[in-house]
Amino acid sequence: MGHKLDDTIALLSRTPATFDALLRNLPEGWTQSNEGDGTFTAYEVVGHLIYADREDWIPRARRILEHGEAKAFDPFDRRGHVKQIAAKSLPQLLDEFRQVRDEALDQLRGLNLRAQDMERRGRHPALGTVTMSELLATWAAHDLTHLHQVSRIMAHQYREVVGPFAEYLGVMKCGGHGG
Amino acid sequence: MGHKLDDTIALLSRTPATFDALLRNLPEGWTQSNEGDGTFTAYEVVGHLIYADREDWIPRARRILEHGEAKAFDPFDRRGHVKQIAAKSLPQLLDEFRQVRDEALDQLRGLNLRAQDMERRGRHPALGTVTMSELLATWAAHDLTHLHQVSRIMAHQYREVVGPFAEYLGVMKCGGHGG
């Protein structure tokens, strides 16, 4: 599968509804539990996705268009969502994610990227040169990495109660790979 | 998190809508691609979940109630879905999954399991003694293992196009753990 922007947008547009279907009104044992000290709950993952849509993807795409490699992306704060989600309920975050994502996709379409724009280069503060195409494909893959994470966080809560069946459940063997 | 049947049912009842939100009408590059020879596509995973709801969970719960450990569960065919899904579209499978899951949950509620029933023992053909509680918790965890798998299968399709960002995407490092 090469990178077609339409494929990326198709995935990005579905993610808020996917998390909504999975998490809304689910018992808190599933949504407010993590995998241990310093790890995310499913609730926090939704907050992180909101924060990334506001602070990361579109601002970086604009940076490429405006400055190319001359000005590196601002660093992204992996815990930047913490203050923003304080006192919000999970249903509120799910509503906000849908709204923020819709706005971000409108902004993306508003950039009117042509095929040649996808090859434009920017500078990541740690990774160095990256292309617009790589940045936008990563936005979609980032959704998937967090869906993967949420399924693992939730499965972790049942690690004990499945007893010997754990052997057959791949997700129980997933160490996380840093996210 | 201990095992409460209400928590398990809450999750099980959401899974068809979760896969629906993620996969319906998504470009086939996402849904009909796998991770290599002998591995599942997202489309096949939905077929597998349907087959398991028909052949695995409820029949095994009934076996425990009727025979205890005296008669082992029938073995489950991990590729049993292949014939059943032939010629069906993904939207058809998503509709069928929702219907089969609703029916299976009706059957589960119809068993009227009491707290003491959750400790009843059955015999798995490979794992040996398991409890009703472990079987039903595994039904929910099995949904999560396949959501984890589908997010990984889909991310795999973008492994090349994300370029250097792959380093930051945990899902790209997930080897699968046998499912």
Determine contact: A134 vs chain B, CB below 8 A.
yes
User: Rounded to 5 degrees, what are φ and ψ at A41?
Assistant: -90, 165
In this predicted structure, what is the pLDDT of residue A82? 81
| Range list of H helices, chain B | 5-23, 28-31, 42-52, 58-67, 81-85, 90-110, 132-156
In this complex, the residue of A3, A134, A170 whose CB is nearest that of residue B179 is A170
Tell me A71's DSSP state. Answer: S
Q: Contacts of residue A118 in chain B, CB cutoff 8 Å?
A: none
Mean pLDDT value of segment A72-96:
89
Nearest Cα neighbor of A169 from B179, B174, B8 is: B179
Report chain A residues whose CB lies below 8 A from the CB of B7: 27, 29-30
User: A76 pLDDT exceeds 70?
Assistant: yes
The pLDDT > 70 percentage for chain A reads 97
Per-residue confidence at B179, pLDDT binned at 50, 70, 90?
very low
Residue B174 with chain A: CB contacts under 8 Å: 148, 174, 177
Closest CA to B142 of B78, B93, B59: B78
Q: In percent, how much of chain B has pLDDT > 90? A: 85
Task: Please give the pLDDT value at position A179.
Answer: 47
pLDDT the model gives residue A177? 59
pLDDT score for B78: 79
Average pLDDT value for residue range A27-55:
96
Q: Is A72 on the interface with B (CB under 8 A)?
A: no
Question: Across chain B, what does the average pLDDT equal?
Answer: 94
pLDDT digits (tens, 9 = 90+) for B91-124: 999 999 999 999 999 999 999 999 999 999 999 9
Interface with A, mutate which of B31, B119, B144 (most A CBs under 10 A): B144
Q: Is B78 on the interface with A (CB under 8 A)?
A: no
CA distance B79 to chain A (A): 15
pLDDT tens digits along A109-145? 999 999 999 999 999 999 999 999 999 999 999 999 9
B76 pLDDT more than 70: yes
Q: Picking from A15-24, A55-64, A167-176, which range would have the lowest pLDDT averaged per residue?
A: A167-176
Task: Quote the pLDDT of residue A62.
Answer: 98
* CA dist list (Å): B114 to A139, B8, B57, B63, B123: 46, 15, 18, 16, 20
> Which pLDDT does position B178 carry in this prediction?
52
Give the separation between CA A54 and CA A51, rounded to whole angstroms: 5
Q: What is the pTM of this model?
A: 0.96
